[in-house]
Chain A
Amino acid sequence: MRVLSLLLLSGLIFAQPKTEPTQCFPFESLSVEDRRIAESLLTRLLDSEGLYTLTTPVKPISFGFAYLFVPVSQANTHAELAAWKRVAAAFRCGDDLEAAVIPVGPMYRQKQFWNFVIARRSAVQRVESENLEYFAQFGPDRSRNALTLIELVDQSRDEIAREGYGYLLGHPRYSVQFNNTLQRLRQQHRAIQSSSYSIKTFDEKGLQFNWPVPLNHLENSEDREIRERTDKALDEYKKRRQNFIGSDKPGAAALLRDWFCGEKGCQLPR
């Protein structure tokens, strides 16, 4: 119920100007080679948990479906990284969706992870509102875009970042708090057994949308609410995928336009 009311609220806040299909994943604006890269990245995103950021409000951000591990000395010359940054600009469909390729985490032995990140601004603002006691440390700022908040969380020390990522990645609040306890005990050289609750994705190997739960945890209402939303989105995606993805088929961008665009223009499903 709380989620539903906030979704309605976010719908009002983010009443968007009409987005034409040509402005929803406008890959035609890219070069032939960049377009190929963009299609490949978008397919990876949709086959993984990124689907739920694009097609539901339950997962505010996604990353990890595509990343590069790049020596710091090559950050400005790495051809693949440069191409990803170029195509990220075409991952848009109205004002609610943000995408970028950003460095995540500190340097490790002079190398760094660069992640392709997508964020749904309205969903990020929702989790910010629901967890004000945590996000207040970054200062309230309704005009801030989602990627800025991700950067603020990422630059925090580990235990702060871990909690923030939990909320942003769409993990239920009870799981984020359980994970805090789990990590605190580990730091004290103590351990409790845990498991994880997993949401299915098209790419079964991925299992990237999951959150820590106590051992022998049974699905609760928060888990179920998310699973029901994601199951529905996955079923819809599977139906559409067979018509759009594959050789001589229109492709991932066309799939999303077909899904997201109607008489009132294009918008991410709510």
Chain B
Amino acid sequence: MRVLTFSLILFGCSSVFLQAAPPGCLDESVLSKDDRERAVKLLWQSLDRETLFTYAGGLKPVNIGVDSIRVQADGKGDLREVEQLRRISPAFSCPGLFQSEVHHMDFIYDGKRAIQTVLFHLPQFRKKLKRHADLFAPYGITSNANPLEVMMAIEYARGGNASLMLGYLLGYPEDAVDFFHAAGKEQNRTGQFVKRDFLNPASFDPRSYFVWAVPIGYQKTTADEAVFHCAEAVLKEYQERRPRYFGDDKKGPFALLRDWMDEGFPKCGAELQKEAGQ
């Protein structure tokens, strides 16, 4: 049944996206015991925060920071932890649906450079690339581009339109992305910080980074409300499912996601993009 449904996914029947876990999808069984333990820990951490909104329907087409490691920028540090992260990263993926990658960041602070993980909800990610093609075209990026190349283009865009490209991919409302970008440019141009407030849909762990900046005194728009409602629906369902999978002798987070996929992830994330003409 899974194979059949997955075939439908590959052949572009969008209504069945996210309806079943295809073979080799979110499969932790291929990992060694040590790697599996780390992967399970990381996946719980990330599902409890904003990565949930990438997996469960693609409300956040891209999520950064399932894990982040800092390495010595002089190349003399120990990279075993990074190597392990790259070994386990494929277990967070699912052919045609989710792609997990590990990449370095350009910025060096205190002699160290961050290595971060990034998760793509491929169908929603590609729709975003298409919708904002004007931003990505200067890099030769088309909607079928390798996701890692997209992240590298953003990483090295060095101020240009990087905050726009990243903001749209991270699933923030478009007005909020435009504001954040303009505020950064203005601050750089005038030296005057643009005061701002923040909106932050709830997650299981309150330390979520699904947060976007808005002007001071801003009233939530229907676009903001729609993201909040979708996030609430996803979180509610996660809260119901989580206790059945979390704890010793329970099936764990990979099984939670596979089972949830079989039963169907919430569709509000995809519907929001559709409503926005994406």
Cβ–Cβ < 8 Å partners of B126 in chain A = none
Which of B58-66, B181-189, B247-255 lies at the interface with chain A?
B181-189
With contact pairs A64-B195, A68-B215 given, residues A113 and B182 touching in the complex (Cβ less than 8 Å): yes
Main SS of the interface on chain B? helix
CA distance A137 to B128 in the complex (A): 44
- B130-182 contacts to A (CB < 8 Å): 158, 164, 178-179, 181-182
- Contact check, B193 vs A64: say whether CB atoms are below 8 A apart: yes
B12 at the interface (CB under 8 A from A): no
A151 at the interface (CB under 8 A from B): no
A206 at the interface (CB under 8 A from B): yes
Interface band, chain B: 10 to 19
Main SS of the interface on chain A? mixed
CA distance A65 to B147 in the complex (A): 40
Q: Which residue of B lies closest to A108 (CB)?
A: B182
CA distance A109 to B182 in the complex (A): 9
- Contact check, B215 vs A158: say whether CB atoms are below 8 A apart: no
Within the complex, what minimum Cβ distance (angstroms) separates B184 from chain A? Answer: 10
Q: Which residue of B lies closest to A48 (CB)?
A: B195
Cβ–Cβ < 8 Å partners of B191 in chain A = 162, 165-166, 169, 171, 179, 211-212
> Binary interface profile of B, 182-215, with partner A (CB < 8 Å = 1, else 0)?
1001101111111100000000000000000001
CA distance A155 to B188 in the complex (A): 15
> Interface of A with B (CB < 8 Å)?
63-69, 104-105, 108-109, 111, 113, 158, 161-162, 165-166, 169, 171, 179, 183, 189, 206-208, 210-212
Which 4 pairs show the lowest CB-CB distances between chains A and B? Answer: A108-B182, A165-B190, A109-B178, A64-B192
A-B contact pairs, 21 of them (CB 8 A): A63-B192, A64-B192, A64-B193, A66-B216, A104-B190, A105-B185, A105-B186, A105-B189, A109-B178, A111-B178, A111-B179, A113-B186, A162-B189, A165-B189, A165-B191, A179-B191, A206-B195, A207-B193, A208-B193, A208-B195, A210-B193
